[in-house]
Chains A and B, each alone.
Chain A
Amino acid sequence: MSWRTIYLLVKAYWLGNKPIASALERLSFQRKGSRSSLLSVVIGLMLLVMFVYFSLLLGLNYYSYQTLGLLIDQPLMGLFIASALSFFGLLLFSFTSIHDFLYTAKDILMVRTLKVGDASASLSRLILLYLHYAPLYWFLTLPALVVGSFIQGVSISYVLYSLLYLLFGPILPLCCSVLVALILIGASRGKRFRFLEEIAPMILLVLFIVGISASFTRNLGEDSLLDFQYEAMLATVAPLLTSLLEKLPLFTLQAKQMFSFSSSLLMVTINGIFVLLTSIAVVRTYQANFSKLLSNQSTRSRRKRAYEFKANSQVSALLKRELVVIRSNSSFLFELVGELFIPVILIVVYMLTGVMDEMAVLADTLKDFPFFEQILFLIMLLVANLGMLSSTSVSRQGRMFVYDRLYPVSAAVYVQAKLLLHMCLVGFPNIIYLSLSLMFFGLNPYHLLWMIPLSLTLILLGATLHLSIDYHNPKLDWTLAQQAMKSNTNGLIGLALSFVLEVVVAAFLVLPVLLGLPFIYFAAILCALALLSLRYTYRLVVTQASQALAR
């Protein structure tokens, strides 16, 4: 093993991909050679607001747990929750891209032909894995570290321990993720690994939601959505959390490391051991796993079925092609299934865990809220629009996008296929979710008369905006699939736009009720405005697509 080679490999990857420069270039919303504009500033500000908002939200949650912890003599509860949440978050997010990072990234085939040993090649990939995922960990834990400083105040030692926490924190979940992936590759001998890779995080996600919902829903009061029953929390959650603190000593230790040298040293040692074990496991199996994955990924059909040569329209053919692109990579699939089916997963989980019955009781009280229907609509709209389906749609095509420039298909047809997919996967399910919610809360179904058109128009409006962003500057030259989606700034810009759209819609729907004005007129005005805007955003996306196809 040569440290110089490892350094060169990491450097080459970095220079070849320029992840930060590329993200900034996309963030500034400019193409190479074009000038920065006011739009860049607006987009940048929107992202900053979104970042601050989510950080504050996390911070508030950690603070509430810390306060609860102080009441039960467990002052490190906030840090404990942050450690656990970021551990599982990182484990879940990184899992689907482990095999891509280690074995199947586009640059690996080139690297493997060079005079580079297994140890150097695999360790360089592990370092890249850390560099890619550490920022996510920092985003999730930094608010907890700020909140944690309220306990004893900020000191030099606290800052130093925080730095150690941030530096070493991502190691454990990433090591676990890598080890699980190695076990799965070994067990499946590379065959059907993609299936296992897709199914394993789903199971983890469901377990994660069960855990979160089991603790969260029991804190709600019966009178209002915002009423936390601290007495009930103390009675029900406190024993649960205390037992979790005992049963998950790793996170307790991680929380303690902020205030104790011995805990910090122990944590560093544990991380060191995990790094060593993972490195040995990866290095020793590298060549074998690489070979297994390279030789066993493709499938030959055993049965020769009669093939139906059925003709489809261009839109329908492109729609199917979109699904093939999504299915082409576990990262895409997991990300989208996670985004699109969270409501379904939640409902199933709630039904299985009995939370649904408790919520039914709660529903009787909540439905008398003056603008409860509007809040319900806004929540569903947020769930629908906070996704990356369309804002990374072109980027996901990668180098295959070049074929779109060859086909005798107009830009409008490509756009229509992508929008149709969005409506099939997001728009129409949203109607089902809305209808079920109304039924569940025993609300009058006539609300669907304004909810359905408004919801479909706003989702389509969001999709056209998202698609415009991606067509404007698609990230096609990705090495790892996650660069096209998770790490794609276009996705973030899309989320920020959805966030702004949600605020505007909320103002239109809630303010009239608060001011005692007839709500239905405002809903109609909003729908008309959305339709009018849709005309322009559709033209915008077709123009952007035409430019991208002609570029």
Chain B
Amino acid sequence: MLECKHLYKRYGNQKKNAVDDLSLTIESGRIFGFLGPNGAGKSTTIKMLVGLLKPDQGTIQFDGKNSKTDALSYKQSIGYVPDEPVFYERMTALEHLTFIADIYEVEQKVRKARIDELSKTLLLSDALSDQISSYSHGMKQKLSVIAALLPSPKLLILDEPMVGLDPKASYILKQLLKSYAQAGNTVFFSTHVLEVAQQLCDTLGIIKEGRLLYCGTFEQLQADAGEGTENLEQLFLELTDEGTPS
């Protein structure tokens, strides 16, 4: 279970908090969609979740492991797919995955099976021996997902994972995330594609100006909003007060 309590983050001498008293709890086995307009604080929250930024206040815990006091075992439990994957371009994909397996101390017997399975699922098997510099953006995105899943993390955090993926790869990734969550793991992902969030997520979080405006299921959100609001896009625009474009 992922628990964030009263998270605050302010950049430099900015007047406003980028994240302002954000608290949320995500049960294991759930897919959590994190939505919000540009500059709402999604990336800042994700960076705090993966340990890139330190919260000014508040705590983050996953399965009882504190991101601050128990940083290494916390990190061992999470996999992260950034919005713009960066690699050592002169490595081949296999070399990169071996490196990740070494860092996360994935057993020798397990790593080959995991790489085979994941690369087959994400249709990257044939390109694993190629240098990463020859990869397209979509291929890099797939490699990033494989690398994140390779150590079998309990919590997978993805920042805009569908960007750059072709429809087939996008579909495969959605299926992969579903089965991954069904196996009892937690998925936390941010997206601007509201359709994807509506289809995929068990729970939604909507953030604006650093504050969590809503956290719950789509059905709850629909019920709260009353009649006349059927899709997430409409609800999102109403909730974030951005107005429905005419």
A residues neighboring B (CB under 8 Å) = 297-301, 304-305, 307, 309-314, 316-318, 320-321, 324-325, 327-328, 399-400, 402-403, 405-410, 550
Complex: chain B residue closest to A413, CB-CB: B103
**Once the chains are docked, how many angstroms separate the CA of A305 from the CA of B128?**
11
**Once the chains are docked, how many angstroms separate the CA of A299 from the CA of B130?**
7
Q: Please report which residues of chain B, range 29-86, place their CB below 8 angstroms from some CB of chain A when the two chains form the complex.
A: 50-52, 54, 71-76, 80, 86
Answer whether A314 and B103 are a contact pair too, CB < 8 Å, given A301-B92, A324-B88. yes
**Once the chains are docked, how many angstroms separate the CA of A253 from the CA of B88?**
47
Partner pick for A309 among B52, B54, B98, B134, CB 8 A cutoff: B98
Q: Are B133 and A297 in contact (CB under 8 A)?
A: yes
Complex: chain A residue closest to B107, CB-CB: A311
How many B residues touch the partner, as a band? 35 or more
Complex: chain B residue closest to A400, CB-CB: B86
B residues neighboring A (CB under 8 Å) = 50-52, 54, 71-76, 80, 86, 88-92, 94-95, 98-99, 101-108, 111-112, 115, 128-131, 133-134
What is the CB-to-nearest-CB distance from A31 to chain B, in angstroms, rounded to a whole number?
A: 13
Partner pick for A317 among B72, B99, B133, CB 8 A cutoff: B99
Q: Are B75 and A301 in contact (CB under 8 A)?
A: no
Q: Are A408 and B129 in contact (CB under 8 A)?
A: no
Answer whether A408 and B102 are a contact pair too, CB < 8 Å, given A301-B130, A324-B91. no
Partner pick for B112 among A309, A320, A321, A325, CB 8 A cutoff: A309
- Residues of chain B with a CB closer than 8 A to A316's CB: 102
- Residues of chain A with a CB closer than 8 A to B51's CB: 405-406
Answer whether A402 and B54 are a contact pair too, CB < 8 Å, given A301-B130, A317-B99, A317-B102. no
**Once the chains are docked, how many angstroms separate the CA of A153 from the CA of B57?**
68
Q: Are B102 and A300 in contact (CB under 8 A)?
A: no
- Residues of chain A with a CB closer than 8 A to B89's CB: 298, 328
Q: Are B90 and A327 in contact (CB under 8 A)?
A: yes
Q: Are A406 and B129 in contact (CB under 8 A)?
A: no
Q: Are B130 and A300 in contact (CB under 8 A)?
A: yes
**Apart from A310-B98, A311-B111, what 7 extra A-B contacts exist at CB < 8 Å?**
A299-B133, A307-B129, A324-B90, A405-B52, A406-B52, A409-B72, A550-B71
Complex: chain A residue closest to B129, CB-CB: A301
Query: Which of A297, A317, A318 has the largest number of chain B CB atoms within 10 A?
Result: A317
**Once the chains are docked, how many angstroms separate the CA of A547 from the CA of B187?**
29
Q: Are A325 and B88 in contact (CB under 8 A)?
A: yes
**Once the chains are docked, how many angstroms separate the CA of A300 from the CA of B103?**
26
**Once the chains are docked, how many angstroms separate the CA of A406 from the CA of B159?**
14
**Once the chains are docked, how many angstroms separate the CA of A298 from the CA of B92?**
11
- Residues of chain B with a CB closer than 8 A to A309's CB: 98, 101, 108, 111-112, 115
**Once the chains are docked, how many angstroms separate the CA of A321 from the CA of B89?**
12
Q: Are A311 and B108 in contact (CB under 8 A)?
A: yes
Q: Are B102 and A314 in contact (CB under 8 A)?
A: yes
Complex: chain B residue closest to A409, CB-CB: B103
